[in-house]
Amino acid sequence: MNRFPSFALSLLLVIAPAVSFAASKTAEKFEVTGYVFTREAVLAPGQVDPKRLTRINYAFANIQNGRMVLGSPADAQNFALLAAMRNTNPELNVLVSVGGWLWSTNFSDMALTPESREVFEDSVLRFLTQYDLDGLDIDWEYPGMPGAGHPFRPQDKQNFTALLKELREQFDAAARRSGKRLYLTVAMGASDDVIANTEMHKVQRYVDSVNLMNYDYYEPGSESITGNHAPLFTDPADPRAVSADASVRAYEKAGVPAEKILLGVPFYGHEWGSVPERNHGLFQTGKAIPGAFLPFSTIDGQIGPGFTRYWDSASSVPYLYNADKKIFVSYEDPESLKAKCKYVRDHKLGGIMFWEYSSDLSGKLLTTIDNELGIGEAAH
């Protein structure tokens, strides 16, 4: 899409209503955002159920030479399949997520100046138009921080805000021209450091949702002990005192309205080895082992004999422990998801976000969300 000449755009902004499309959701309707991460594979028809989602965030587009580009040769075909799903569920919106843990390398340089941001923003509008998408999810991990070793600088804090403000202005102008609303969301880490390196009280003005990544609080190899990787509430015995509830409250204190926060949930678990039997392995020393990342489909009935399921009532999450093999597994299951959906309702959050779709082949977790938040009822 060619950007309007500056004088024409200025005229359009004068005569058009000065309305931002970054609207809040109503309390009765929740967003269910599912990340679809194909790992360069071509999606098959029926692989994604559009009736149980309000948004699909397709992961990931990349940034090259300051522009948003396809992440895989399969993306164009996958975008066409996902866009066609709106015929089945007219309430479904298909967004592309750019960046992620490994592809956040070029965010800091891209966002550095108004000129570099303009190049990116123009490429985004062209990209969304070309592939008939409904918006963009910015997954910069993380402004002002190295993430997986990416370049970063102190100016990222203000540049992140400027990027989102300018994207919102461009999206609103495009919507006034075409009549099609474009969504803008951000994926945010659930830590105080991320909040400190952003201006969330400003950022929230320009985005439709903050997809809060309430998982990986404990990861094998990152911490010296085991722990709940997606606790809903803080366990008093947790030496790090982390939880989704604490993160939500921190983001609200930073200025993000509850209705714009999507509670992030994992469709996967983490596995530690060499874990002593004390407290069934919870908050004990452990080591990273091969295959430590476990999709829910692997955990659910397939992890093998010798594992016992335990429930951390303080945190409202399950965990598994194998005393013979000294293996500890932290994960999400339907019971913990039901508690998190209740939390979303009770705290009037915007909805649920999950990573990621292919880790729940049985559909048990998505069915739980659907049953608790009622997403699929209108679409069925």
100: left (phi over 0), alpha (psi -120 to 50) or beta: left
**Residue 255 identity (one-letter amino acid):** G
pLDDT for 302 equals: 76
Torsion of CA 352, 235, 294, 75, to 10 degrees: 30
* Structural domain contains residue 100: yes
Q: Which residue has the higher pLDDT, 318 or 11?
A: 318
Rounded mean pLDDT, 97-118:
98
Cβ-contact 199, 161 below 8 angstroms:
yes
Listed range (7-21, 82-96, 134-148, 348-362) with the worst mean pLDDT: 7-21
Look up residue 256 and give its two tokens: 């993000």
* Structural domain contains residue 368: yes
pLDDT for 20 equals: 54
Q: At residue 10, does pLDDT exceed 90?
A: no
Predicted confidence band at 22 (pLDDT cuts at 50, 70, 90)?
Answer: low
Give the angle subtended at the CA of 265 by the CAs of 285 and 237, to the nearest 5°: 35
For the entire predicted model, the pTM comes to: 0.92
* Structural domain contains residue 243: yes
Give the angle subtended at the CA of 351 by the CAs of 260 and 86, to the nearest 5°: 100
* Structural domain contains residue 117: yes
pLDDT for 304 equals: 81
* Structural domain contains residue 194: yes
Torsion of CA 290, 292, 297, 300, to 10 degrees: 110
Listed range (102-111, 173-182, 260-269, 300-309) with the worst mean pLDDT: 300-309
* Structural domain contains residue 181: yes
Nearest CA among 318, 331, 322 for reference residue 359: 331
Predicted confidence band at 104 (pLDDT cuts at 50, 70, 90)?
Answer: very high
Q: At residue 5, does pLDDT exceed 80?
A: no
Cβ-contact 114, 161 below 8 angstroms:
no
Residues serving a catalytic function are 141
pLDDT tens digits along 24-71: 444 469 999 999 999 999 999 999 999 999 999 999 999 999 999 999
pLDDT tens digits along 282-314: 999 999 999 999 999 999 977 889 999 999 999
pLDDT for 12 equals: 32
Side-chain half-sphere of 335: how many Cα atoms within 13 Å?
A: 12
* Structural domain contains residue 59: yes
Q: Count of domains in the chain?
A: 1
Q: Is residue 368 classed exposed, middle or buried when 0-12, 13-18 and 19+ CB atoms within 10 A define those classes?
A: buried
**DSSP character string of 281-329:** GTTSB-EEEEEEEEEHHHHHHHS-TT-EEEEETTTTEEEEEETTTTEEE
CATH label of the domain that carries residue 64: 3.20.20.80
Cβ-contact 228, 328 below 8 angstroms:
no
Residue 271: helix, strand or coil by DSSP?
A: strand
Q: What are the CA-CA distances from residue 155 to residues 79, 151, 186, 346 (Å)?
A: 34, 12, 18, 37
The length of the chain in residues reads 380
DSSP annotation of 26 reads P
Q: At residue 15, does pLDDT exceed 90?
A: no
pLDDT for 378 equals: 42
Residue 362: helix, strand or coil by DSSP?
A: coil
Mean pLDDT rounded to a whole number for the chain? 92
* Structural domain contains residue 274: no
pLDDT tens digits along 333-358: 999 999 999 999 999 999 999 999 99
Distance separating alpha carbons of residues 144 and 155, to the nearest angstrom: 7
The domain in which residue 260 lies consists of 24-266+333-379
